[in-house]
């Protein structure tokens, strides 16, 4: 009786998540729990000229605050599935790809929006690689991917909401295991986020395509190479200046 009940709960929860995504009805409340302090946009928020718009039409900018509650860390999901499977479900459901340790295939959604992932906890199954480039992750979403002790490969390329705070979170959560990071085309990352990447001790490969606009990026690449001995950076043409220095 017990396992079936758990299965049912997980199913229902998954369905509710999908429903919420479709309807977009969850406003952002300010939470009073000391663990979950969040800033609430109070009623009288200044909307400027947009106050002419009708209040119930969700605007593009509101997407982040709409989805923050659905993407935040769900304790019951982890209680049922364990950290690794919970993160896998979270990502694959939203269009990401996950590869487990010792597996050769990537778990992802197919054309019918279905995917094969275990619905209950399996011990000794660890997520090793995550490709979140289609997911458009936000800061709260990264928390749903925490406690992944064996994550080696992470790509958040083309996620426009990745900023310095998300880099901070990535550095905190995967500092001991991450070997490959891809933050290409994330326009909100600044030079301060790149300096923070020095905290990822095992980093071997860093993809920075499309981030040429960051201030002092070439100097930053050189400094990062000094700090992290095995690091290789791709996507920025800084080798020219290095060769110039040598000659």
Partner 1 sequence: MYCITRTSLRRLGEQWTGVSYSQVKSVFEYSDVSRRGLSSSSTTCSDRHDDPPNSQDNKNQNFRRHKYANPLQRTIGILSDDVKGFFFGVQSRFPTTGKTLDGGDPRPEPQDRLGEVWPSHCDVLVVGGGVMGSSIAYHLKERALQGLNVVVVEEDPTYTRASTVLSVGGIRQQFSVPENIQLSMYGMEFLRKAPQLLGVEGMDPPDMQFNPHGYLTLASEAGVHQLEENYTLQRDLGAKVDFMSAAQLKDKFPWLNTDGVEGGVLGLENEGWFDPWSLLFSLRRKAVSLGTQYVNGRVTGLESQILDDAILETDYRSNVKNLRKAEITLANGEKRNIHFAILVLAAGAWSGEIGRLVGIGKGDGVMAAPIPVEPRKRYVYCVHAPDGPGLNSPLVIDPNGTYFRREGLGGNYLCGQSPHEDNEPPVDDLKVDEKFFEDEVWPTIANRVPSFENLKLHTSWAGYYDYNTFDQNGIIGLHPLVSNMFIATGFSGHGIQQAAGVGRAIMECILLGEYRTINLERLGFERILLNEPLYEKNIV
Footprint of partner 1 on this chain (CB under 8 A)? 30, 32, 34-39, 41-49, 51, 61, 64, 139, 164-165, 167-169, 171-172, 175, 190-193, 195-196, 198-199, 201, 216, 219-220, 223-224, 226-227
Cβ-count burial of 45 within 10 angstroms (0-12 exposed, 13-18 middle, 19+ buried)?
Answer: exposed
We find the least distance from the C-beta atom of residue 128 to partner 1, in angstroms, to be 22
Query: Rounded to whole angstroms, how far apart are CA atoms 189 and 179?
Result: 19
User: Largest Cα–Cα distance of the chain, in whole Å?
Assistant: 74
Nearest CA to 170 out of 188, 137, 146 is that of: 146
Nearest approach, Cβ of residue 17 and partner 1 (Å) = 24
Partners of residue 99 on adjacent β-strands: 129
Q: Is 49 left (phi over 0), alpha (psi -120 to 50) or beta?
A: alpha
CB of 126 to partner 1, least distance (A): 21
Q: Which is nearer to partner 1, 97 or 169 (CB)?
A: 169
Tell me whether residue 13 or residue 218 sits nearer to partner 1 (CB atom).
218
Whose tokens are 């390329």? That residue is: 157
- Give least dist CB 221 to partner 1, A: 11
Q: Are strands 97-100 and 127-131 parallel, antiparallel or unpaired?
A: antiparallel
Give me the least distance between CB of 197 and partner 1, in Å please.
9
Nearer to partner 1, 10 or 223 (CB): 223
185 Ramachandran zone, left/alpha/beta (phi>0; psi -120 to 50)? left
Token pair of 8, please?
A: 């049912």
Q: Nearest approach, Cβ of 180 to partner 1 (angstroms)?
A: 19
Query: Which of 114, 226 has the CB closer to partner 1?
Result: 226
Q: Which is nearer to partner 1, 4 or 35 (CB)?
A: 35
* Residue with smaller CB distance to partner 1, 125 or 223: 223
**Choice between 149 and 216, CB closer to partner 1:** 216
Residue 112: CB minimum distance to partner 1, A = 36
Nearby residues of 160 by Cβ (< 8 Å), 6 or more positions away? 136, 186, 187, 188
């Amino acid at each position: 009786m017990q396992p079936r009940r758990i299965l049912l709960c997980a199913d229902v929860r998954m369905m509710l998540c999908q429903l919420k995504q479709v309807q977009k009805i969850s406003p952002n409340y300010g939470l009073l729990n000391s663990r979950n302090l969040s800033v609430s946009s109070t009623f009288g928020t200044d909307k400027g000229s947009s106050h002419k718009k009708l209040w119930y039409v969700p605007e593009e900018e509101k997407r982040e605050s709409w989805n923050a509650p659905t993407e935040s860390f769900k304790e019951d999901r982890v209680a049922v599935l364990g950290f690794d499977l919970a993160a896998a479900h979270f990502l694959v459901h939203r269009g990401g790809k996950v590869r487990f340790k010792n597996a050769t295939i990537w778990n992802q959604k197919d054309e019918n929006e279905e995917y094969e992932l275990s619905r209950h906890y399996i011990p000794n199954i660890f997520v090793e690689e995550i490709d979140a480039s289609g997911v458009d992750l936000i800061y709260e979403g990264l928390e749903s991917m925490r406690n992944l002790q064996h994550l080696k490969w992470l790509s958040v390329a083309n996620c426009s909401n990745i900023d310095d705070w998300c880099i901070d979170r990535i550095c905190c959560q995967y500092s001991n295991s991450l070997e490959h990071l891809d933050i290409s085309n994330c326009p909100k990352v600044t030079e301060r986020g790149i300096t923070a990447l020095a905290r990822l001790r095992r980093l071997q490969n860093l993809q920075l395509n499309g981030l040429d606009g960051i201030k002092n990026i070439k100097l930053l690449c050189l400094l990062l190479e000094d700090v992290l001995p095995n690091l290789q950076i791709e996507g920025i043409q800084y080798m020219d200046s290095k060769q110039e220095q040598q000659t």
